[in-house]
Structure 1
Amino acid sequence: MNSELVVDVKTSEISIALLEDKRLVELNQEGREEQFAVGNIYLGRVKKIMPGLNAAFVDVGYDKDAFLHYLDLGSNFNTLTQFTTQALSDRKKTPAIQKTKLQPEIEKNGSINDILKPGQDILVQVTKEPISTKGPRLTAEISIAGRFLVLIPFADKVSVSQKIKTEEERQRLKQLIQSIKPKGFGVIVRTVAEEKKVAELDNELKILVKRWEEAVIKTQQTKGVSLILEELGRTVGIIRDLFSPSFKHIHINDQAVFAEVRDYVNLIAPDRKDIVKLYQDELPIYDSFGITKQIKSAFGKTVSFKNGAYLIIEHTEALHVVDVNSGNRSKAGNGQEDNALDVNLAAADEIARQLRLRDMGGIIVVDFIDMHETENRQKLFDRMRENMANDRAKHNILPLSKFGLLQMTRQRVRPVIHIDIEETCPTCFGHGKTKPSILFTDQLESKIDYLVNKLLIKEFTLHIHPYVDAYISKGLFSMKWQWKRKFGKGCKVIAAQKLGFLQYKFYDKKGNEIDLQEEIEKIS
């Protein structure tokens, strides 16, 4: 399986697409100013204690206070509190974790009233991004993730991923890390550390310890609630978690992000830094790799997947519901049971992809087409488990119920991705009446004339629908050629698949949109 990562960097957001054999399987979008990412560490302040919930609400700078449950304090919370208090009380001297005396562990079934007080400053880490009306979810068990290792301050235990099956390799890694890790730190060895040499693991361990030390210094320098340690950017974070020999290319259309990713790949795999490519073509990067079309077909309430069969996907606050329909699909000579099995197996493939693609989490219920034979129901259950094996999110799948429903849970740490694929008519704005479409190119030309001669913007890019681009490009002396001759070579026209049929957008040479859209007309 060949994997590719395509990163589309825009002024306001970064979009990251993961392709497996050219097929879109994951899509991540985040604003350039996005905060409260999973893994961020904050110096927070306790605002309110809720004894009934055995939890506290903590101010970390978000509109709504973040939620911290007693069970998420961690057994070594007393040691963390002592260390934080020491760091804040003497800001000129940075405390060393190696010299910190471990305090007694907190009780597993204790009360949060005995541990926290309103106004108390504590170090916390985001485990779940703000979703719907809820603020972030926090933990006080601080951890700093790397590619091979996860560093845990105030612990002294070394754990090895259960996915490393060889007992000999597990023991090798455990003894190796025990011999090189500093006192006062615990370490979790990740699956990708299998067969890695001591030099690679030691190098990453030093980097993680340094990040912790920088976080401590920043804690001392800050006053009040603030971000102490920011998780790696979503792009680098995904590469850190996914990077494997199957990665063939990483394409990025921004120089700064390209340099950041290239530096990181050079750090973790120097021999593979050349797989990071800077995309410089004029065509939008998602159009070039066929991603825009896949997004248009994969998102929305209805998703077609095989020979007329389709899924209906509904989202509620409590759960996600997926209904499998055979549509007008039929195979001559096959019985109803065989047809149902065939559609259900194909649906299981598409559903596993949709869960990753939309990052759906929480409770998920799938209504498959009814099957009567126990053997076929088991085949479907096994197929679903096999498809979900590549999913990084924690999940649990139950066998089909007697009603043909498959129930599962999937870890939810950030809001589900929602992309509206329906297009509002850019010329009538949903009112149903438009100007004659044959005059559309005349309208575009007048906009270009206004841009060049009135606003004096000589270099710009016009994005239009591919059909319109084909129309203005036809002929030896095409309309596009005439525009360049009349308005200068700074006039560039690009076919963009994400636009509606009669939609257009202007961008300046820095990539910022120039708003020249028609105002909504009042139609009586």
Structure 2
Amino acid sequence: MKQMIVSCDPKETRMALLDEGQLVEFASERSAVKGIAGNFYKGKVMNVLPGIQAAFVDIGQKKNGFLYIDDVLHPHMDKQPRVKPNIADLLHPGQELIVQVTKEPSGSKGAKLTTHYSLPGRWLVYMPYADYIAVSKKVSTEQERNRLRHLGERLRDNEEGVILRTVAEGEQDEAIENDMLNLRHIWHRIEAEAERQRPPAELHRDLGLVERMIRDVFHPEADRFITDDPQCAAVAESFLQRISSADIQPVVEIYREREPIFAHLGVEERLHHDFQRKIWLEGGSYIVWDQTEALTVIDVNTGKFTGGATLEETVTHTNILAAQSIARLLRLRDTGGIIIIDFIDMDHESSRHAVVDALEQVLLQDRTKTHIVGWTRLGLLELTRKKAREETISFAFQTCSVCHGTGRIASWIKD
């Protein structure tokens, strides 16, 4: 069973997801600063740069969005030319087009944009021009995958594309069809709004934090939703009723005690533990988590663990335990980009396979795709993980104004 715990105040909404008592996701949304990932805009091309095969598009934000050529060409690979054309042949300054934000602006960089539009629903993802059907690999049986694939083919029109999500497994055709019709209606509304508006203009805003998390990870018949805010409870209850089957009456619990909800339910303690640089694991081993702009480096150490009968057994046990924790923490911290894990050296190939298998099993629970690249020549495990929104740690902690996040202060600086 999962617990979705939501704490609201006038400045911020915070959400923690516990799965069988373990903290697996944390997200925060500031009232004054709404994210734009997933939003649709009518934009105007400002600059086209053939040298980097990209264009900058004004979408009404502080910085122009970045549109790469792969996000301009038709998303269906069979229809893409073998040799990419010059982006200047596809776009020109002043051109108006519908774009969707795939990655939030960060630092000096504007938002990453695409014309490969997608609208996520409860049971499926609708793509108006993708021209293919896909079924989640996490659907358990081939028979169910075939059912969903045939259903998707029946529901789509012309060049529409559909991805049937894992939660669609076992769901009734009617519910999935209604989801499809709703998403198609939203797309038609976006098109109509684009005809009416002058750029730059927002055409469609993605769901807020609470509704988005309910849509993506919450099962009304099995999970608990707890919040300390009656208004948030009303929003959640209304959204749950829209996405739930008619015979299910979702229950939203309102927390009314004096002690803050995160403290009372142990979330604050878990956050404090899981967002440290040095994270102790069961048995006395630990990992060290270092973040840079380009990549994340994670170091595994035996610490106080003296464990198995042989050195290889001790090391392998430590690495497997670390792999399981790292997979959970990647999801919790929403770490993206290149990730390098320095496991303790193992002599046997079977031990390395066991560590990767342990990592993959936990990563299956993560909605964000992680690709395990493999072991480098130096024995490091390399991964990549997608990221669309600002990293969770930026909401959980503020960068120190003295050391600026390095953890070091020059010895010649005096108090």
TM-score of the aligned structures, taking structure 1 as reference length: 0.70
Relative to 1, partners in 2 of residues 1:120 and 1:261: Cα closer, same or farther, differing over 3 Å? same
Instruction: Give, as a single letter, the amino acid of the residue that structure 1 aligns with 2:300.
Output: V
- Which residue is 1:234 aligned to? 209
Cα distance in structure 2, aligned partners of 1:334 and 1:246: 46
Aligned to 2:236: 261
Q: How does 1:384-399 map to 2 (within 5 A)?
A: 384-399=359-374
* Residues 115/277 of structure 1: CA separation in 2 closer, same or farther (3 Å cut): same
Q: Which residue of 2 aligns with 1:209?
A: 184
Structure 2's unaligned 5+ residue stretches are 402-414
Which secondary structure state, in structure 2, belongs to the residue aligned with residue 258 of structure 1? helix
Q: Distance in 2 between matches of 1:227 and 1:421?
A: 31
- Contact 2:24–2:329, Cα closer than 8 Å, also in 1: yes
Structure with greater Cα Rg: 1
1:383 aligns with 2:358: yes
- Aligned residue number for residue 326 of structure 1: 302
TM-superposition CA deviations, 1:212-235 (whole Å, max 9, x none):
233233324433312110111122
Q: Is 1:195 aligned to residue 170 of structure 2?
A: yes
* 2:220–2:250 contact (8 Å) kept in structure 1: no
Cα 1:6–1:61 change in 2 (3 A) is same
Counterpart pick for 1:405 among 363, 373, 380 = 380
User: Which has the higher mean CA deviation after the structures are superposed, 258-267 or 187-196?
Assistant: 187-196
**Distance of 1:345 and 1:193 partners within structure 2:** 32
Higher RCO by CA contacts (8 Å cutoff, separation 6 or greater): 2
How far apart, CA to CA, are the structure 1 residues paired with 2:146 and 2:283?
50
Match of 1:486 in 2: none
**One-letter code aligned to 1:322:** I
SS of the aligned residue for 1:52 comes to helix
SS at match of 1:251: strand
Match of 2:269, as an amino acid? K
Number of aligned pairs? 396
* SS of residue in 2 equivalent to 1:340: helix
Contact 2:24 2:328 in 1 (8 A): yes
Q: CA deviation at 1:169?
A: 3.4
CA RMSD of aligned residues (A): 2.6
Amino acid at match of 2:2: S
How many angstroms does 1:165 deviate by?
5.7
Aligned-residue sequence identity (percent) comes to: 34
Whether the 8 Å CA contact 1:249–1:275 is kept in 2: the answer is yes
Distance 1:71 1:283, change over 3 A: same
Tell me the distance in 2 between the aligned counterparts of 1:189 and 1:53.
35
Whether contact under 8 Å (2:36, 2:104) holds in the other structure is yes
Q: Aligned partners of 2:293, 2:168: CA distance in 1, in Å? A: 38
Report the alpha carbon displacement of residue 180 of structure 1 after superposing the two structures with TM. 4.1
Give secondary structure in 1 for the equivalent of 2:378: coil
| Alignment gaps of 5+ in structure 1 | 78-104, 425-523
- Other-structure match for 1:454: none
Matched, 1:297 2:273: yes
8 Å contact from structure 1 (residues 4, 19) kept in 2: yes
Shift of 1:17: 0.6
State the match for 1:49 in structure 2.
48
Q: Aligned in 2, Cα 1:251/1:245: closer, same or farther, shift over 3 Å?
A: closer
CA separation of 1:176 and 1:368: change in aligned 2, threshold 3 A: closer
When residues 121 and 375 of structure 1 are mapped into structure 2, their CA distance, relative to the original with a 3 A threshold, is same
Q: Do 2:116 and 2:130's aligned partners in 1 also have CA atoms closer than 8 Å?
A: no
1:420 aligns with 2:381: no
- 1:9–1:221: structure 2 CA closer, same or farther, 3 Å change rule? farther
Which moves more between the two structures, 195-204 or 273-282? 273-282
The residue identity in structure 1 corresponding to 2:225 is I
Change in CA separation of 1:32 and 1:340 when aligned onto 2, cut-off 3 Å: same
DSSP 3-state at the match of 2:257:
coil
The separation in 1 between residues aligned to 2:142 and 2:175, in whole angstroms, is: 21
Normalised by the size of structure 2, how large is the TM-score? 0.87
Name 1:374's counterpart in structure 2.
349
1:64 and 2:66 aligned: no
SS of the aligned residue for 1:357 comes to helix
Deviation of residue 157 (structure 1)?
Answer: 4.1
